[in-house]
DNA sequence: TTAATAGTGTCTGTGAGACAATATCAG
DNA sequence: CTGATATTGTCTCACAGACACTATTAA
């Protein structure tokens, strides 16, 4: 190991993982289980030390954290911000690359892994470290990016209806909006496309099903 | 020092510092001078190892880097993204928290510090590490944020005219826009305010001077 | 007075948003 | 048929953008 005249910071990743549970935007918290680490027993954002022997980069480390805690690869994972400082971790000067992740409604409904808990995004309890700051920034980013991208489709199953997307939009942004205007906007943005199917079963007209267009997030441009 | 079973990554900061030089958006590069570090002698983004004994956090480290290389505190400094991986630095697994900074036109004109060089943002040479990726992302962020915030005012002196702001806007976004529409939009966005003075000297009507409103960047909201 | 740039007023097209009207579904 | 919700069509208002016109300045 090539040395460095300064003590190296502790390098971590933390993940703010969101899903829809019972119609509400929810954040995943995990019980800390390692007795060698601080705040053992407390609920916190899932995270951990970067394993430089196996993780190719920080994104891979975050992916590994989700995979080991939840058992699957997160469909959407984006870097949020890096939190750092001398005092944020009792061990030593630390640096946490924070990510946020979106998981479709229902995927985690049956997952009954011990120590995991979902809390409503608008009533997050007090968390250790600076995890409340991370969660707050993740929600702000999510709210903001929802207004100009196909981000929210990652909170829904592969095929979804416009009313469902509209409900998620209202849940995330916290604002009531006109569904007719929403429909028109989202359709000529060219970020979703009809599957050709409809969802039957309701005692009303069957809504058209759509899927996300393209594999990643689509962002829209502003003018001036 | 509390140990950790994994080798710690090398923790760095890098800064993409922009200013206007001869009417063009320009990026600052610095000659690497430390013979113990890779790419000594090459031009690269100014950066360095985080000093955990003196830097409170990564932002403070980036501020220190700018201060020691340029001799002043950067007026605007924002975290951009964290670049990481096993191979990006020949020393070892590394993690660089990248920042971008904006400095008013003219402030660096007289600065004649050896080893510093400005290059036009649209013709950046090949750089060591993944510094080209950092610079590209910084320019994308700058271009994008310019369209919905008061960010560009940080590339101008404290008092500036609307035509000056418009010229910077066109230079940064690379698009020709209508100055009348630009003026109207920027004025009712409430992000700048008139100083009450005008800039005389030209052989034409003296333009009104404005200043940025508020101390930080102002962002605008989108609708739907 | 003239050349040059600053600033203002007017018109138009586009798109968000409200709302009415029509279309389907299950029972 | 009826009660529900989905989808489409129409109108209005706000605003970006184009452009013409007026206002100032120094020489």
The band of A223, judged by pLDDT with boundaries at 50, 70 and 90, is very low
Do the domain assignments include residue A144?
no
Please write the tens of the pLDDT for every residue from A1-49: 445 678 999 999 999 999 999 899 999 999 999 999 999 999 999 999 9
Does residue A35 sit in the same domain as residue A119? yes
How crowded is the C-beta side of B113, counted as CA atoms within 13 Å?
17
**Pairwise CB contact (< 8 Å): A11 & B9:** yes
Q: Can you give the CATH number for the domain in which A96 is found?
A: 3.90.79.10
Residue B75 and residue B28 share a domain: yes
Cβ–Cβ gap A52/B9 under 8 Å: yes
Residue B165 backbone zone (phi > 0: left; psi -120 to 50: alpha; other: beta): alpha
Residue B8 to residue A11, Cβ atoms within 8 A: yes
Range of the domain at A69: 10-123
pLDDT < 70 regions, chain B:
1-4, 109-111, 220-224
Q: How far is the CA of A193 from the C1' of D2 (A)?
A: 33
Same domain, A82 and A157: no
Count of pairs with CB atoms under 8 A, one residue in A, one in B: 105
Query: Which nucleotides of strand C lie under 7 Å from a protein CB?
Result: 3-10, 15-20, 23-27
For the four alpha carbons of A112, A116, A121 and A122, in that order, the dihedral sign comes to: positive
**What pLDDT was estimated at residue B222?**
53
What mean pLDDT is reported for chain A? Answer: 92
* Torsion on CA atoms A155, A78, B75, B109, rounded to nearest 10: -130
Do residue B114 and residue B162 come from a single domain?
A: no
Q: In terms of domains, do B114 and B26 share one?
A: yes
Residue of A85, A92, A97 lying closest to B57 (CB–CB) = A85
For B162, B171, B177, B186, the CA distances from B181, given in Å and listed in that order, are 11, 17, 8, 9
Model-level pTM? 0.94
- State whether B183 and B80 are in the same domain: no
Nucleotide nearest to B181 (CA to C1'): D17
**CA-to-C1' distance for A175 and D2, Å?**
32
Residue with tokens 């800390």: A32
Query: Is residue B80 within 8 Å of residue B100, measured between CB atoms?
Result: yes
10 Å Cβ neighbour count for B216?
11
Query: What's the number of domains chain A is made of?
Result: 2
pLDDT tens, A149-189?
889 999 999 999 999 999 999 999 988 889 999 999 999 88
């Amino acid at each position: 190991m090539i040395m460095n005249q300064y003590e190296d910071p502790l390098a971590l990743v933390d993940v703010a993982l969101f899903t829809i549970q019972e119609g509400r935007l929810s954040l995943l918290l995990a019980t800390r289980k390692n007795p060698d680490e601080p705040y053992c027993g407390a609920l916190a954002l899932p995270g951990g030390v970067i394993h430089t022997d196996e993780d190719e980069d920080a994104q891979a480390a975050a992916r590994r954290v989700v995979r080991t805690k939840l058992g699957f690869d997160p469909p959407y994972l984006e870097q949020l911000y890096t939190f750092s400082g001398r005092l944020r971790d009792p061990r030593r000067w630390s640096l946490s690359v924070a990510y946020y992740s979106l998981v479709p409604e229902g995927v985690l409904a049956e997952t009954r892994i011990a120590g995991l808990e979902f809390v409503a995004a608008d009533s997050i309890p007090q968390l250790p470290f600076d995890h409340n700051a991370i969660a707050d920034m993740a929600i702000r980013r999510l709210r903001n990016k929802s207004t100009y991208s196909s981000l929210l489709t990652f909170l829904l199953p592969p095929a979804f209806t416009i009313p469902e997307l509209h409900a998620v939009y209202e849940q995330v942004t916290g604002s009531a909006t006109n569904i007719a205007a929403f429909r028109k906007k989202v359709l000529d943005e060219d970020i979703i496309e009809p599957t050709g199917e409809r969802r039957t079963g309701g005692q009303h007209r069957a809504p058209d099903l759509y899927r996300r267009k393209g594999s990643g997030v689509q962002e829209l441009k502003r003018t001036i």
